[in-house]
């Protein structure tokens, strides 16, 4: 069964506690937290203090997506703040193997994110070390962008590469996910679907989450 991870990027930041509670009550599996530094991506969002503030309001895993330069400097703080999963961009990590193991040493599960233009082959040497691969289906930085269909092939490629070497690998997709793109990405092998505007842009979060799940399971 696929997991749905609502992204709080599209939620009301003045009532984050209630937004997270509503997502959990609405049937979310994980909570996706987008961290942006204004350097790796052209937008600034939140830091470990906010993750720490959300932590007591949900029992769901917190899935922290670091869109930042030099993530090694901040991984310990995010792990301490209550992140269960921490993902870093391959494009921001010259020593990716070291960064992945730093995440694990800090007690979190480790993910690597690939931008739409980055090929799956860059993961080959470290595939067995990963808990998760996050494939961006938009260019990172903003919610509400349109899904890039060219990434679908990459989902299948990662699935096939992982089937032999890391069958428990989670494959997450992020950007432009709605009931239709949920169906496509899940059928190509995605196991975790991030959705920002398709959940928090809707009045009824339960209905929105159910619609995405229905799409994915169709």
When the beta carbons of 3 and 32 are compared against ligand DX5, the nearer one is 32
Query: Is 84 marked within a binding site?
Result: no
The two three-digit tokens of residue 106, written as one number:
């800090």
29 binds Zn ion (CB under 5 A): no
Nearest Cα neighbor of 118 from 95, 85, 92 is: 92
Dist. CA 12–CA 121, nearest whole Å: 38
The binder of ligand DX5 chosen from 2, 3, 7, 212 (CB under 6 A): 7
Scan residues 13-42 and list those touching ligand DX5 (CB under 6 A): 32, 34
Instruction: Please check whether residue 31 is in contact with residue 5, taking contact to mean a CB–CB distance below 8 angstroms.
Output: yes
Site track 185-214 with ligand DX5 (rule: CB under 6 A), x = hit: ---------xxxxx----------------
Catalytic-labelled residue, pool 34, 37, 63, 131: 34
Query: Is 32 marked within a binding site?
Result: yes
Q: Pick one of Zn ion, ligand DX5, none as the site partner of residue 131 (Cβ within 5 to 8 A by kind).
A: none
- Give me the least distance between CB of 148 and ligand DX5, in Å please: 11
Q: Pick one of Zn ion, ligand DX5, none as the site partner of residue 176 (Cβ within 5 to 8 A by kind).
A: ligand DX5
**Residue 55 burial (10 A CB sphere; 0-12, 13-18, 19+):** middle
Query: Is 111 marked within a binding site?
Result: no
Dist. CA 51–CA 185, nearest whole Å: 28
Cα dihedral value 112, 33, 150, 94, nearest 10 = -30
Catalytic-labelled residue, pool 29, 63, 131, 174: 174
Scan residues 67-86 and list those touching ligand DX5 (CB under 6 A): none
The binder of ligand DX5 chosen from 175, 182, 193, 216 (CB under 6 A): 175
Q: How far is CA 190 from CA 1, 17, 91, 216, in A?
A: 10, 28, 21, 9
Instruction: Please check whether residue 189 is in contact with residue 171, taking contact to mean a CB–CB distance below 8 angstroms.
Output: yes
Scan residues 77-136 and list those touching ligand DX5 (CB under 6 A): none
Site track 158-177 with Zn ion (rule: CB under 5 A), x = hit: ----------------x---
Longest dimension (CA), the chain: 45
Q: Show which residues are catalytic.
A: 34, 174
């Amino acid at each position: 069964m696929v997991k749905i991870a609502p992204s709080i990027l599209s939620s009301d930041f003045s009532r984050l506690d209630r937004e997270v509670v509503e997502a959990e009550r609405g049937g979310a599996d994980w909570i996706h937290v987008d961290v942006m530094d204004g350097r790796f991506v052209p937008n600034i969002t939140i830091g470990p203090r906010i993750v720490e503030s959300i932590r007591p309001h949900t029992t769901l895993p917190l899935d922290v997506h670091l869109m930042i330069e030099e993530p090694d400097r901040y991984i310990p703080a995010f792990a301490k703040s209550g992140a269960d999963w921490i993902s870093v961009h391959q494009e921001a990590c010259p020593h990716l193997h070291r960064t992945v193991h730093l995440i694990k040493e800090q007690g979190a599960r480790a993910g690597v994110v690939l931008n739409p233009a980055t090929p799956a082959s860059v993961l080959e040497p470290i595939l067995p070390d990963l808990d998760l691969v996050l494939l961006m289906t938009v260019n990172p930085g903003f919610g509400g962008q349109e899904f890039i269909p060219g990434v679908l092939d990459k989902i299948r490629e990662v699935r096939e590469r992982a089937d032999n070497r890391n069958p428990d690998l989670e494959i997450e997709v992020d950007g432009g996910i709605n009931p239709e793109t949920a169906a496509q990405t899940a059928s190509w092998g995605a196991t975790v679907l991030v959705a920002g505007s398709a959940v928090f842009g809707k009045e009824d979060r339960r209905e929105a989450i159910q619609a995405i799940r229905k799409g994915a399971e169709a």
